[in-house]
Structure 1
Amino acid sequence: MENKGIIFNIQKFSIHDGPGIRTTVFFKGCPLKCKWCSNPESQLNNIEIHFDESKCSKCKTCVSNCNQNALSLSDNKITIDNKKCIGCLKCVSICPNKAIENEGNYKEIKEVIYECLKDKDFYEESNGGVTISGGEGMCQPDFLKELVLYLKKENIHIAIETTGYIEHNLFKELAILFDLLLFDVKHYDRNKHFEGTGVYNDLIIKNLKWAIEHKINILIRIPVIPEFNSSLEDAYQLSDLLKSIGVKNVQLLPFHQFGEKKYDMLNKTYELKDIKPLRPETLENYKNIFIDKGLNCFF
């Protein structure tokens, strides 16, 4: 049987997901449930339905045609019960106003490779390549490995955005395949990490240490989140942790609200709805703490 993976987006001409011009392949499914996640559609490892109220005429065509009774209309809004939904996408196909769409599709390896190879000339001219994002690509290890090995035969630079929260032996098997790990570090304190993400950070730090010891090319990325890890004390503690492990390069990602609307469309609660975004200019002192510790820190 052809190896298939569940993908929710393939984004062309990316310039923020590694060096050069890149194609970013977004894998669906993530072991973390970060409260600030800007891609909430990436968290579940199955097809989801989202609803855009601004396009809906309240005709109830989707409700009356759902064989699983997964859709209902209440308070002038379509609600989707993900426990009942089987991802048949009938509601998507029959909605007259395209108010219902799906997040995620099962794709064969050859489909993803075809899309990535379209822009090979741009990769070569810009020293770019392909980045695996998500979600967490390592949660689909067989599909990921086959895809990466094929692209490497084409001499394409491959990066992955990873949470680092992967069973250690599996992480060791997969991490060595990549030219660059864009490795998220969210907190130094295991209990605080659990509060924000739903998992402890022990495994993440273990995998990070192993990757550095084995001289894998790594860029640490820290999402700076208000009331979670944005204080100067947090910067001191994070920089001490990273320096002790042997980290050299750190990118700060100031909190933003670009994904806010997605929560409503997926009928999910967004706990950080009223939190103001952060800007680089307000985090200069935060950044300088890392620099003073000898780390190459930038936005």
Structure 2
Amino acid sequence: MAQITAAMVKDLREKTGVGMMDCKTALTETAGDLEAAVDWLRKKGLSKAAKKADRVAAEGLVAIAVKGGTGVAVEVNSETDFVARNADFQTLVHNIATVATDKGGDDVEALKAAPYPAGGTVQDAVSNAIATIGENMTLRRAASVKVNQGAIGQYVHNAVGDGLGKIGVIVGLESTGNAEALAALGRQIAMHIAATSPLGLDHASIDPAVIEREKKVLAEKNAGKPANVLEKIVDSGLKTFFKEVTLLDQAYIHDNGKTVSQALKEAEKQVGAPIALTGFARFALGEGVDKGEATDFAAEVASMV
């Protein structure tokens, strides 16, 4: 049996970031073969990831990245906010967003299977990070916005690094106008989206089920009124609803005296060409995640201690 030295363990730990005892076990199991030990740890990493998969991951980071006419947003979750401040985790999320700009789509499973810069796939990188850092992590979602000619506006709220934060927004502006002016306008609109969280671009982009639910609420609130009066109340209520939830109809946060649509029209003078807002994506960290009772991982650890 090969003798496992401290230097061999140190080399493997520096190469993989895995704990000393795991490194020693891996080298023992592979008769001191460094590369075989790396593979052994990767397999063990996948096992660790599976064991931690039932833990709720609602912290982490949102990342945005722009390449040419493609902008992407991704959300990678962890169990605690401590991990979001980990440099290795931030690098992982940044790299995943960069990979997503080449994939150029919203298919999370395809993104997980895409090649990762350091080798293997994106999912391999996530699994390895789980094994190294010791928390459940998941690539939860991805979205993209594209323009043929124009600019991708971008904004990150509560930023902890370049393109990394708690809320990330990308917005597409199609135009042949001045690129620098378009980019500045895009950032302003992205900030607006971060603040107002619109449900869609315009009336047509709102889920019909959401509209029907709003109609039902308005009708029930005004039950007992004559049918013709009720119809007018519901119609009026829907107009107000659309002004609140559709991006183009919302009051522009940088100038409440105009809508976003009006602000775009006025901006065409500075840009020097017509502007079409083609789409947007807004990711807020952890939104929609059922955190249940096991969310406070730090408190769970403290109670165990």
Question: What TM-score, normalized by structure 1, do the two folds share?
Answer: 0.24
| Structure richer in helix, relative to its length | 2
Query: In terms of Rg, which structure is larger?
Result: 2
Provide the TM-score with structure 2 as the length reference.
0.24
